[in-house]
Structure 1
């Protein structure tokens, strides 16, 4: 018997022994599949919890964005900005729950569950940052605020206050793709802000927004088709928002002197409807 025949014979013997063991002890097979079932059920439950938390993050972020749009209609926006800060603090607490669920897990296995909420949060926090500073918030600044202290409390007898034990620092890192998608959605909110500013007779903000959106568009143009598919898909919407803001600036520059300020918004709205009557709200 040569070496190859000997290896083949030993392999057949090993397979036969394994088959005999499984047939002799079928409970081991059932135990293995029950383990697989438990693991899959655990991941599914975690995925569903993340979907629910992400939905809460989305809702609260949208409410913050709606609140921030009021800054163009009030003389003093400090109260609105402070209220937006409080709302975003609540959103960050929800993101802390996501970080807790993802502790020790591969986040990309669950990324689709929470990415809609994170994108909406990026949109809200970048909108607030632009209103305050007239600039784009960086990914590093966003992630720096997503650091959470997870501490279990112990309440020993006779102590006035519970003492923290086993304190752990949890961090959540927004991915570059979620950051880019959130910034792409921000352009639609800035376009709405432009419309509101024109309606209130503010002729400076539209020109500031036009320059800012042009810079964002140029930045996305550098990425082109090399970035995630969703980013290139939203580039079309970004260009539409930029076109509408530039059209508003054109209207203000050419016809602003002959149209009363309270009618500029109506003129601008009718022109944007002619540009893309089927698009709807960005």
Structure 2
């Protein structure tokens, strides 16, 4: 019996020694995985911060778009446009925070975190540009406004002036795919602008919008299936918006002279609803 107890104690001591040896052998592996854990946690935290910033960018951009739709209903449009520009300046400061988070990082690892906000910003800034200039803003013009001067220990601030002494220049580049997706969403806002213009008795704006939307549609047609997958999905919505505006312009051209101005919006909405029902049947 004593011999068995001695054998059991020696076996336990051997197991403990082997466990200690195993722990010492695996310690470099454990240390390496701890490093990997820290890197993954850091990237995850950065990703979540970018998602929150993108959400703020989306909200403020949508508010700017809603504000710009008031242009058709106010006598002094310049005040609305200036207020919209101030809101967009705040959005650009938020994009500066994105640029700060991406400093030294691979943008493609975090692109899905902030792309919704950037698309919404492109939609808002292109809508404002169209109202002012009746043209489409280019990708280069958008990126030219996303240059930031970051002072030591300070937040990045957009500035058109040269860099101050000791300041660091940060730039954010909107990707071509985000630009195309934002412009595709712009067509829906232009269709709503057409409805508001018709409701105010403005017959010229719908024809201008129809021509502009046709040019955008032709541009997307050149891309075809070679562009990003999301662009091909939004092309259907673009065609719907163009069809509704062209259908309204047809009604205005044929019957516009005989319909009172205060009833033009009702005619537009009725023909739009009829077009939607036809698409649903098809």
Same-fold status (TM-score > 0.5): yes
| 1:170 alignment partner, SS class | strand
- CA deviation string 1:56-75 (max 9, x = no partner): 00000000000000000112
In the alignment, which residue of structure 1 is the partner of 2:252? Answer: 252
> What CA distance in whole angstroms lies between the structure 2 residues aligned with 1:265 and 1:111?
41
Note the C-alpha offset of 1:251.
Answer: 1.0
> What CA distance in whole angstroms lies between the structure 1 residues aligned with 2:76 and 2:24?
80
- CA deviation string 1:74-123 (max 9, x = no partner): 12200000000000000000000000000000000000000000000000
Note the C-alpha offset of 1:149.
Answer: 0.6
In the alignment, which residue of structure 2 is the partner of 1:211? Answer: 211
> What CA distance in whole angstroms lies between the structure 1 residues aligned with 2:278 and 2:172?
38
In the alignment, which residue of structure 1 is the partner of 2:268? Answer: 268
Moved more, 145-154 or 128-137: 145-154
Uncovered stretches (5+) of structure 2, i.e. residues with no partner: 1-20, 155-163
> What CA distance in whole angstroms lies between the structure 2 residues aligned with 1:165 and 1:135?
38
> CA 1:175–1:247 in 2, change beyond 3 Å: closer, same or farther?
same
Tell me whether 1:84 sits opposite 2:84 in the alignment.
Answer: yes
TM-score, scaled to structure 2: 0.86
> CA 1:93–1:279 in 2, change beyond 3 Å: closer, same or farther?
farther
> CA 1:51–1:153 in 2, change beyond 3 Å: closer, same or farther?
closer
Structure with bigger gyration radius: 2
- CA deviation string 1:97-153 (max 9, x = no partner): 000000000000000000000000000000000000000000000000000011026
| 1:276 alignment partner, SS class | helix
Note the C-alpha offset of 1:166.
Answer: 4.0
| 2:203 alignment partner, SS class | coil
Tell me whether 1:33 sits opposite 2:17 in the alignment.
Answer: no
In the alignment, which residue of structure 1 is the partner of 2:61? Answer: 61
| 1:105 alignment partner, SS class | coil
Tell me whether 1:229 sits opposite 2:216 in the alignment.
Answer: no
TM-score, scaled to structure 1: 0.86
Note the C-alpha offset of 1:273.
Answer: 0.8
Contact 1:153 1:165 (8 Å CA) reproduced: no
Uncovered stretches (5+) of structure 1, i.e. residues with no partner: 1-20, 155-163
Note the C-alpha offset of 1:29.
Answer: 1.1
Note the C-alpha offset of 1:167.
Answer: 1.4
In the alignment, which residue of structure 2 is the partner of 1:118? Answer: 118
> CA 1:74–1:141 in 2, change beyond 3 Å: closer, same or farther?
same
In the alignment, which residue of structure 2 is the partner of 1:127? Answer: 127
> CA 1:278–1:103 in 2, change beyond 3 Å: closer, same or farther?
farther
Contact 1:22 1:29 (8 Å CA) reproduced: no
What is the RMSD of the two structures over their aligned residues, measured on CA atoms? 1.8
> What CA distance in whole angstroms lies between the structure 2 residues aligned with 1:264 and 1:215?
25
| 1:256 alignment partner, SS class | helix
Contact 1:152 1:165 (8 Å CA) reproduced: no
In the alignment, which residue of structure 2 is the partner of 1:145? Answer: 145
> What CA distance in whole angstroms lies between the structure 1 residues aligned with 2:103 and 2:278?
44
Tell me whether 1:190 sits opposite 2:197 in the alignment.
Answer: no
